[in-house]
Structure 1
Amino acid sequence: MPPPPTKWKGHCEFTGQRTCNNKLVGARNLLKEALEEPPFENFFHGTHTAAEAAGAFVEDAGVFGNAKGTAAGMAPGAHVAMYKVCNDKVGCTESAILAAMDSLGLGSLPFFDDPIAIGAFSAIQSGIFVSCSAANSGPEYGTLSNEAPWILTVGASTIDRKIAALAKLGNGAKYQGETLFQPSNFSSELLPLVYPGLNGNNESAFCTPGSLDNFDVKGKVVVCDLGKISSVLKGQEVLRAGGAAVILTSPEIVGYSTPTSAYPLPAVQVGFGASFAIKSYINSSSTAQATILFEGTIIGDSLAPEVVFFSSRGPSQESPGILKPDIIGPGVNILAAWGVSVDNKVPSYNVVSGTSMSCPHLSGIAALLKSAHPDWSPAAIKSAIMTTADTKNLGGLPIVDQRHLKADIFATGAGHVNPNRANDPGLVYDIHPDDYIPYLCGLSYTDREIGILVQRKVVCANVKVIAEAQLNYPSFSIILGSTSQYYTRTLTNVGPANSTYSVDIDVPFGLGVSVNPSQITFSEWNQKVTYSVEFISQVRENRGNHSFAQGALTWISQKHTVRTPISVIFK
């Protein structure tokens, strides 16, 4: 289990526009190019996300004949009110964001200076559920946004559909990747393979505009590294220089992730392992050859859902006593409506990736849950989503990250959303908006700062202040030293009137956990029962070199399984 840094770095500050440190800017620039967003993406981002949340059923949807089928949003019968809050000239103004607070894909810190957190608190006071993107700054720890506990913070995962292609080399090796544009008239005959960056030419390695003027790429397959510019522009440069096709190679940070789009010529994007092998082959051969074999749409990836490299990771910087992200959802190569046609078809669709795609999936699911349970509060809806989440992939194994290693709790949160189970969670952890005030006082915010958030006068001296981890949240996030810690949670029965639950504990490494009582019986619907948990500190030697651990506390009845994830950071 890789350790998180001792001091979380990389968050963005909101200053009318968002400004970030250089490291995070580099990650976001890589993301922008890796996600293959065309120049007009900003104008159709809202179209795409709205369709994911509530798009109507449309038959024979797809792009370039791929990902074909009936398209629909998560809640196709829902109504959508959309507001444009950002533009290329002035960025994202606070006034615009505050005016558009039903669901967002933006983020910043801290809570009392964060217009999203402020607007979201006002929304939940009115019974409006708020979901936000975790941000696209992964895979490093402590890179997420939208950390407020009254917001559902959503990370991004893959789906079990690949728009597949193979990079076939002259030595017979084949490496799978993805590409949206798959021309049927492209020959499978091997062509000369070149890497313009072989001799250390940085610009030509990234195939930036004009960088291939001094290279003979005519009729050849050209290797271009991800980075610096969009892959569309890389493809345009190769096309201008006379190249026949492109293999887009990924740095180590990307892992096996292959977000794709519509390239302007035959192309395939491959992950880091394949990228390393392809470059090694070029280095070892004076007559390197390659071609691209298009495989079309393939359904059934057993590793899905897989956490994608760009999905921002926890822990929360502003409130480490709250586990974030809360959940992951589909956010890679998502087909949805688009403002213009990319393949001369109407209605027009496009494939886009990002946590901005996973967020509206959860918004739509929340709308369905609210429709089915109109009496549920925003916190109850969040709890239902989190406590019923999947922790295993389609192959029945633990969810993995972009390296194909077991994804940790700061990547997945509670796990991957399971809408059907969320509709019948059995129990929920509910929170009234006023319950956040003792929590905010516990963050050492001033009365004035809390007043900005809750829009009324607050005097913390008159409030029973609680620790962060004492908030009635559907997860535990513990920072543990040498002293054991004790917290309570209150469950509300939204299942059968008469039901009994027994606790099962997946104890995090390096500590002990005690739950009292170990069995809870409900005799009526909407009944509330409180239980306590003691997190028992053990000798440091038992922790080895681990800086954090994870586990879960699960309440199990004959019909329901209510899982509460636990993260523990050792100090």
Structure 2
Amino acid sequence: MGIKNISVFLSFPFLFLLTFISFHAQTKADENRVYIVYMGSAASSSPRSKNSLRNDHAHLLKSVLRRKANAVVHTYRHGFSGFAARLSEEEARSIAHKPGVVSVFPDPLLKLHTTQSWEFLKYQTALEIDSNPNSIFGAANGISSVSANGSDTIIGILDTGIWPESESFNDKDMGPIPSRWKGTCMKSDDFSSSNCNRKLIGARYYDTSESDDTETEDGSPRDSQGHGSHVAATAAGSIVQGASYYGVAAGTAKGGSPTSRIAVYKVCSSEGCLGSAILAAFDDAIADGVDVLSLSLGSPIEYEPELSSDPIAIGAFHAVEQGITVVCSAGNDGPSRETVVNAAPWIVTVAATTIDRDFESDVVLGGNKAIKGRGINFSQLQKSPVHPLIYAGSAGKGDARNCDANSMVAEKIKGKIVMCDTNDDNYSRNEQIDAVKSLGGVGIIFQEKNPGVVVYISTALPATVVSIKDGLDILSYINSTRNPVATILATATVTKYKPAPIVAYFSSRGPSHGTRNILKPDIAAPGVNILAAWMANDTGITLEGKESPLFNVISGTSMACPHVSGIAATVKSQNPTWSPSAIRSALITTATQTDNLGAPITTDSNSTATPYDYGAGEVRTTGPLQPGLVYETDTIDYLNFLCYYGYSISQIKTIARTAPKEFACPKDSNADYISNINYPSIAISNFNGTKTKNVSRRVTNVAGDGETVFTATVDAPTGLSVTVIPDKLEFSKNNQKLSYQVVFSSTTSSPKGDMFGSLTWTNGKNKVRSPFVVSI
């Protein structure tokens, strides 16, 4: 397990969206660096108390400070105990063996997982209402009324900070700040307490630089990347009429819970997001009094840490202990299997899907033949095809086909639209555009094997993306015409685009590498081409001669995460006594699996999506408010999970001091038993076709009807028999808990692959659906 593992997790240079992590060379044994010393739950019965440091914690801190001045970077004292300090490897190894220490690990540098979307989600919900006249989510409840609630919920955003002047963060018509709020608005040279208001009620910042002697943008809550403002506005932004990116994607911008409060914790800079800062933000957020925490960041799958050295898993565990729902992005390492991150069972893990809006920028060839392209540009080329057209490979030698500036001949490029290949990862689109522009080109066409659904924004030249098939048609036209000509049209925003949603190619997929017996991701939400607030000084996306835009269009599971965070905040506001696991259950069991054509949701490769792609399906805006039944994953479930995962009872009681004194790990604990924790989905691995597998679940009646009967139906794949015992649950009162078992058995002697299905409980008004996966 490496429970006190100090193997090196090193840092990466931050890139914006679909970026990978790269790590520094391993440090020498005697070289100091920041290590995180994790010591489990805070000892105090009042976790918010500033006096919650245990004696062993204080002793270790004093011993470090005696040896090194200013060695301690952060101390953690509210929901959990520990500190981050500059240590040598030898010192870290020594501390790792001290009493009360769960783990010691190098401070990792994580990455960001980088509005029509809300209207689309409501439209999808309306389709389901229309198809089910008995649904409780009819006109009486009002789809549009959902977002009017939630003014006393507080969403904490761990990200790159915030641009407080954005209209998305105005506090018009908002009431007083909840009295339970204990947070602060930190000041800096470019940020004052007046930047906070009744919407933006808190702003903190942390040192996220690995270096002691370089200037960074860390010393302020102000957003210098744009990402944090975008995320915060998506989750809880105020309603802003007439939002757009220079007229593209025009409409009303708003968050999922526009009357919720926002508390910002700046843990990321252009370098990345340090684990020690993330833990400090969790620690502060627990004390501040947030209801929901939204994290659009995480580790890349190739360096996925163990639970005991994962800052997000550690911080989230203790936040959930304190009743805070934690929502995280699944990662942008798809579409390969086993790439999902942030997969601890106490986290809501979110995949990314498209919405019913596209950005079309067509290529028109001589003879007025139109080729569909995708992209955001503001082309001022003539609308008729009069501009000379050339394939970059004909404009030079070597890497000319990739629009390499040193390989193309300027005379052949000047005044022409250039079609580039994009099959070499050594060339970014920005580099290719710069190369064509520097040689006098007037436009650029990218041809890609899988153009995907993510839109590329070009402010330097008219640019668009076409498929390889269409690229071959363009090349055929060039080769068969004496004087080939074309034009690139300015972007047209296409609404009511079908099919939607589809699962984005970049969205990380299950099963979880850490454990296949918890289904991850949990759910999907819009994460492609999302319009939301941006910092107002970003010259990189500014059109020449124009003021910087106040909104931007970006993609990633980063954008999907705050959609779910906003809905979770609304659920919390309507059901203030619900636990984080009840809220997660409501989100999962009410998800939809159909698109706006009424067909099963697909991936962007046109295959039918599975729970490994999108968990339970696409999140709904109203269904989670009244789910009928909820699966509550309690403390014992999480403690058993840690047992099954391989932790000893002494380690578990250090990690979770809320554990009952009499708690003991079940006998013969192993990873297969993880399938039995009370999760709203079911995942079984290592299924042996010659044996049966039993899992148990318990549900709580929240239908509000007192006496009600739920009946089970199963959708099982060929080759798998699924029996529910009992198949009826008769409730006599609200909040009553009942249990049932599900028995899985093979109907063939040699089952193969992954088998997907679902179990649904219904009482005529509510449908409570749990996806399941059985893997061989």
Please report the TM-score for the alignment, with normalisation by the length of structure 2: 0.65
Aligned position for 1:94: 275
Report whether the alignment pairs 1:251 with 2:449. yes
Amino acid at match of 2:276: S
Do the aligned partners of 1:117 and 1:453 also contact (CA within 8 Å) in 2?
A: no
Could you list the per-position Cα deviations for residues 19-43 of structure 1 after superposition, in whole angstroms to 9, with x for gaps in the alignment?
99xxx97799xxx9xx8xxxx9971
Given candidates 487, 492, 507, the residue that maps to 2:700 is: 492
1:389-400 alignment, distance < 5 Å: 389-400=591-602
Taking only aligned residues, the RMSD between alpha carbons, in angstroms, comes to: 3.0
Q: Which residue of 2 aligns with 1:407?
A: 609
Whole-angstrom distance in 2 between the partners of 1:19 and 1:314? 26
Q: 1: CA distance between counterparts of 2:655 and 2:391?
A: 54
Q: Which residue of 2 aligns with 1:547?
A: 753
Aligned to 1:445: 647
Question: Among 310, 316, 321, which residue is 1:120 paired with?
Answer: 316
- Alpha-carbon shift at residue 459 of structure 1 (Å): 9.5
Paired letter, 2:612: F
Q: Deviation of residue 270 (structure 1)?
A: 2.9
Deviation readout 1:441-494 (Å, 9 max, x if unpaired): 111233465456436789998223571110111111112123210011111111
Q: Which residue of 1 is the match for residue 225 of structure 2?
A: 43
Distance change (3 Å), C-alpha of 1:468 and 1:459: farther
The aligned residue for residue 10 of structure 1 is none
Alignment check: 8 A CA contact 1:235 1:263 kept: no
Asked if residue 17 in structure 1 is aligned to residue 198 in structure 2, the reply is no
2:570 aligned residue (354, 361, 368): 368
1:323-334 matches, cutoff 5 A: 323-334=519-530
Within 2, Cα distance between the matches of 1:201 and 1:449?
63
Where structure 2 has 5 or more consecutive residues not aligned to the other structure, the ranges are 1-6, 23-110, 115-216, 218-222, 283-292, 300-304
2:454 counterpart of 1:232: no
1:93 corresponds to which letter in structure 2?
L
Which one-letter code corresponds to 2:720 in the other structure?
A: L
2:353 maps to which of 136, 149, 157: 157
Q: Verify the 8 A CA contact 1:165 1:293 in the aligned structure 2.
A: yes
In structure 2, the partner of 1:55 is 237
The aligned counterpart of 1:514 is 723
- Give me the whole-angstrom Cα distance separating, in 2, the residues matched to 1:163 and 1:209: 28
User: Measured at CA, do residues 283 and 118 of structure 1 come closer, stay the same or move farther in structure 2, by a change above 3 Å?
Assistant: farther
SS at match of 2:607: coil
Q: 1:240 to 1:73 in 2, by over 3 A?
A: same
Task: Mark the structure with the bigger radius of gyration.
Answer: 2
Determine the C-alpha separation between the residues in 2 that align with 1:390 and 1:535.
Answer: 24
Confirm or deny that 1:137 pairs with 2:328: no
- Distance in 2 between residues matched to 1:370 and 1:451, nearest whole Å: 29
User: Aligned to 1:82, what secondary structure does the other structure show?
Assistant: strand
Contact 1:232/1:263, CA 8 A, preserved across alignment: no
Partner secondary structure for residue 430 of structure 2: helix
Residues 278-309 of structure 1: CA deviation (Å, up to 9, x unaligned): 45655666654432234521111121111111
Shift of 1:380: 0.7
CA distance in 1, matches of 2:713, 2:374: 41
Mark the CA change 1:500 to 1:568 in structure 2 (over 3 Å): closer, same or farther. Answer: same
* Other-structure match for 1:423: 625
What is the one-letter code of the residue matched to 1:382?
A: R
Letter in 2 for 1:265: L
Kindly state the Cα deviation for residue 192 of structure 1 after the two structures are TM-superposed: 3.0
* Per-residue deviation, residues 542-566 of structure 1 (Å, max 9, x unmatched): x4xx411211111112111111001
Aligned equivalents of 1:201 and 1:504: distance in 2? 64
Give, in angstroms, the shift of residue 408 of structure 1. 2.0
Q: Which amino acid aligns with 2:426?
A: K
Instruction: Report the Cα distance in structure 2 between the residues aligned to 1:433 and 1:212, rounded to whole angstroms.
Output: 64
Q: SS at 1:153's partner residue? A: strand
Q: Cα distance 1:403–1:59, how it changes in 2: closer, same or farther (>3 A)? A: same
Q: TM-score, normalised by structure 1?
A: 0.87
Moved more, 388-397 or 520-529: 520-529
Residue of structure 1 in register with 2:688 after alignment: 481
Q: Please tell me whether residue 168 in structure 1 is matched to residue 364 in structure 2.
A: yes
Provide the rounded CA distance (Å) in 1 between the counterparts of 2:231 and 2:518: 27
Equivalent residue number for residue 221 of structure 1: 417
Name the CA distance, whole Å, in 2 between partners of 1:278 and 1:308.
Answer: 27
Q: CA deviation at 1:230?
A: 4.1
Q: Choose 460-469 or 441-450, whichever is displaced more.
A: 460-469
- In the other structure, the counterpart of 1:81 is 263
Higher mean C-alpha deviation, range 267-276 or range 196-205: 196-205
Aligned partner letter, 2:688:
G
Cα deviation, residue 180, structure 1: 2.0
Cα 1:48–1:206 shift into 2, 3 Å: farther
What is the CA–CA distance in structure 1 between the aligned matches of 2:367 and 2:719, rounded to whole Å?
A: 49
Distance 1:282 1:540 in 2: 57
Q: SS where residue 51 of structure 1 aligns?
A: helix
After superposition, the Cα gap between the structure-2 partners of 1:549 and 1:285, relative to the gap in structure 1 and judged at 3 Å, is farther
CA distance in 1, matches of 2:480, 2:224: 42
Q: Which has the higher contact order (CA 8 A, sep 6+)?
A: 1
CA contact (8 A) 1:144 1:313 kept: yes
8 Å Cα contact 1:231/1:263 also seen in 2? no
Measured after TM superposition, the shift of residue 174 of structure 1 is 3.2
Letter paired with 2:438? R
Alignment partners' CA distance in 1, 2:410 and 2:255: 48
1:355 to 547, 553, 557: 557
Is the CA contact (8 Å cut-off) linking 2:232 and 2:562 kept in structure 1? yes
1:52–1:336 Cα contact (<8 Å) kept: yes
The alignment status of 1:537 with 2:749, answered yes or no, reads no
CA distance in structure 1 between the partners assigned to 2:553 and 2:263 by the alignment: 23
Which position in structure 2 is the counterpart of 1:472? 678
2:511 aligned residue: 315
DSSP-derived class of the 2:718 partner: coil
CA contact (8 A) 1:250 1:272 kept: yes
**In the TM superposition, what is the alpha-carbon distance from 1:92 to its structure 2 partner?**
2.3
Q: CA deviation at 1:373?
A: 0.9
Matched-pair identity in %: 39
Match of 1:105 in 2: 296
C-alpha distance in 1 between matches for 2:502 and 2:579 = 30
Residue 201 of structure 1, CA deviation: 6.0
Query: Does the Cα contact within 8 Å between 1:14 and 1:114 map onto a contact in 2?
Result: no
Distance in structure 2 (CA, Å) of the matches to 1:14 and 1:430: 36
1: CA distance between counterparts of 2:383 and 2:429? 22
Matched, 1:305 2:521: no
Instruction: Quote the Cα distance in structure 2 between the aligned partners of 1:18 and 1:435.
Output: 35
Q: SS of the counterpart of 2:360?
A: strand
* Aligned 8 A contact 1:161 1:300 in 2: yes
Aligned-residue offset at 1:100: 2.5
* Structure 1 residues 273 and 531: CA distance shift in structure 2, 3 A: farther
Contact in 1 for aligned 2:639/2:659 (Cα 8 Å): no
Q: Within the alignment, does 1:564 sit opposite 2:746 as a pair?
A: no
C-alpha distance in structure 1 between counterparts of 2:508 and 2:636, whole Å: 29
**Contact 1:162 / 1:297 at 8 angstroms: preserved in 2?**
yes
